Amino acid sequence: MSEFNATVSGTVVTDVTSRTTSTGQLVASFRMAVNPRRFDRATNAWVDQESSYFQVSCWRQTAENVAISVTKGDPIVVTGKVRVRQWEDAGKSGTSVELEAMAIGHDLARGSATFTRNRRAAEMAA
C-alpha cells in the first residue's frame, strides 16, 4: 500500500504532550486546526470555511524539539504521513485524521522565529 504524504498549515490547538514508549522511544503529540479561508468577490471580504482537525505525532529528536519549541496557539506547517483511522469508544464512534510528522516548523507567513541548532553528542564530547 502506498503512503499518502501531505503538508498542512494551521494552528496548534492543544498543549504538546510527550511520553516514552516501552522501547524507549520519545513521542510527542498535539492537535492542530486548519482554518481555510476564501475571498468572496460578492461581499468583497474573506470568508472562513469549515475547520479540519489533525492529531499530529512525532518521534525521537523531532519529538524532543517539538516539546520545547511548539506551544498552543502557534501557527505551524507540518509535513508527514497521513493516516485515517476509525474509532469507537463507549458507544461513540468517529474518524480521526492523523499526521506522523516528518518535519514541523513555525509558519513564518504569520510571525517570526529564531532558530537554534542542536549540538550533536560528538560535538559536545569534543
What CATH number is attached to the domain comprising 99? 2.40.50.140
Q: What is the pLDDT of residues 25-81, one digit of tens each?
A: 999 999 999 998 889 999 999 998 999 999 999 999 999 999 999 999 999 999 999
The model's pTM is 0.81
Give the number of residues written for the chain.
Answer: 126
What pLDDT score does 120 carry?
A: 67
What pLDDT score does 55 carry?
A: 94
CA distance 32 to 11: 5
Number of H helices, E strands in the chain: 2, 8
- DSSP characters over 26-38: EEEEEEEEE--EE
How confident is the prediction for the chain on average, in pLDDT? 90
**Helix ranges (DSSP H) in 1-126:** 60-69, 121-125
User: Which residues form the domain of 104?
Assistant: 4-38+46-125
Q: Which three cell numbers stand for residue 31?
A: 492537535
Give per-residue burial for 65-85: e unless 16+ CB within 10 Å, then b.
ebbebbeeebebbbebeeeee
What pLDDT score does 125 carry?
A: 56
Sole residue written with cell 514541523: 104
Mean pLDDT, range 12-19, rounded to an integer: 96
What's the number of domains the chain is made of? Answer: 1
CA distance 61 to 44: 45
